[in-house]
Amino acid sequence: MKIAIVQSFPTYADTQQNVTSILTKIESIKADMIVFPELATSGYFFTDKNSLFPHALTWNESPELLSFQALSTEHNVIIIIGFPEKDGDVMYNSAGIFMPHQEDSRVYRKTHLFYKEHEVFAEGNSGFFCVHDAKTDCTIGIMICYDWRFPEAARTLALQGADLIACPANLVTTLSGKVFPARAIENKVYVAVANRIGEECLGEETLLFRGESAIYDYVGERMAQASFGNEEILYAEIDPQSTRKKSFNSVNDIFKDRRPDMYS
Ligand code: ACM
């Protein structure tokens, strides 16, 4: 299975330009799965609901999302893209998982909100879930950026059978680079992180997004890593079935050895 990560620099508050650029990239990438960053259609740093609301999209309705779905079906590719979602008056920091068969497509609403996201988004209510792709026999779990600080996120997805965790991100710290390999090892899953680059300023405050998107194998080795400051596309070949045997010697199995009764 060939996966691709797009490290991009979204144009702030210009949905049309970002969507055009995303569609062009999808057309040019040959892979079974393509992952774009968090809030890739809008840019990140909004603290005023009224400024973001015009850029928010409705799942299964907005033409921009339907155009991603159409390319997923046409190219037989799984596409994961972060976008601001509106549901009535409420906005979520969401990621669409567009599957070639539209009935399998789903939207994940970010569970753990970071910093000033609380001023514009509601906490996600989709819960963590996986989707299964029949063509590649890959089970894909999804989380968004700051969810990385919560080991429960990756564990929940792995217990649901994820072979690969895809993480659209707008990371502002390098600490996550120490954590993603651990999540890969402790769950024996691949991890694919699509981060953005560039800066966004709002009033006195500037956020610097740290690039360095990466794909990790299930022993935590980096299979591919992007630069700090350039737009790039990363590729890796993965073998989803190889994550499923969770034993690592004749006695131990990282899932069967769990002691949930000891954890509360
Ligand atoms: C983040 O969750 N965008 C840091």
- Can you tell me the distance from the alpha carbon of 225 to that of 78, in angstroms, rounded to the nearest whole number? 21
Q: Of residues 86, 117, 138, 145, which has the active-site annotation?
A: 145
Query: What is the value of pTM for the model shown?
Result: 0.98
Q: Residue whose CA is closest, atom 2 of ligand 1?
A: 146
138-142 and 164-168: which strand pairing?
parallel
Is 2 catalytic? The answer is no
pLDDT band of 201, cuts 50, 70, 90: very high
Q: How far is the CA of 51 from the centre of ligand 1 (A)?
A: 19
Residues with CB under 6 A from ligand 1: 38, 114, 145-146, 170-172
pLDDT band of 159, cuts 50, 70, 90: very high
Atom of ligand 1 at shortest distance to CA of 172?
Answer: 4
> Are 167 and 151 contacting, i.e. CB atoms less than 8 angstroms apart?
no
- Can you tell me the distance from the alpha carbon of 109 to that of 226, in angstroms, rounded to the nearest whole number? 26
Q: How far is the CA of 148 from the centre of ligand 1 (A)?
A: 9
> Are 156 and 121 contacting, i.e. CB atoms less than 8 angstroms apart?
no
What domains are there in the chain, each with its CATH number? 2-262 (3.60.110.10)
Q: How far is the CA of 120 from the centre of ligand 1 (A)?
A: 14
Which residues make beta-bridge pairs with 213?
Answer: none
Is 130 catalytic? The answer is no
Backbone angles phi, psi at 251, to 5 degrees: -110, -45
165-187: per-residue pLDDT in tens? Answer: 999 999 999 999 999 999 999 99
189-199: per-residue pLDDT in tens? Answer: 999 999 999 99
- Can you tell me the distance from the alpha carbon of 3 to that of 142, in angstroms, rounded to the nearest whole number? 14
Atom of ligand 1 at shortest distance to CA of 110?
Answer: 2
DSSP state letter for 19: H
State the average pLDDT over residues 210-239: 98
Q: Which residues are within 8 A (CB) of 73 and not within 5 positions of it... i.e. 6 or more apart?
A: 100, 101, 102
> Are 238 and 250 contacting, i.e. CB atoms less than 8 angstroms apart?
no
The percent of residues in the chain predicted with pLDDT above 90, rounded, is 100
Q: Of residues 64, 85, 110, 117, which has the active-site annotation?
A: 110
Is 188 catalytic? The answer is no
Q: Which residues are within 8 A (CB) of 185 and not within 5 positions of it... i.e. 6 or more apart?
A: 218, 219, 220
**Per-residue b or e along 30-52, where b marks 16 or more CB atoms closer than 10 Å to that residue's CB:** ebbbbbbbbbbbbbbbbeeeeeb
Name the helix (H) or strand (E) containing 34.
Answer: strand 33-35
**Tokens in use for 145?**
């950026």
State the average pLDDT over residues 7-33: 98
90-147: per-residue pLDDT in tens? Answer: 999 999 999 999 999 999 999 999 999 999 999 999 999 999 999 999 999 999 999 9
Q: How far is the CA of 170 from the centre of ligand 1 (A)?
A: 5
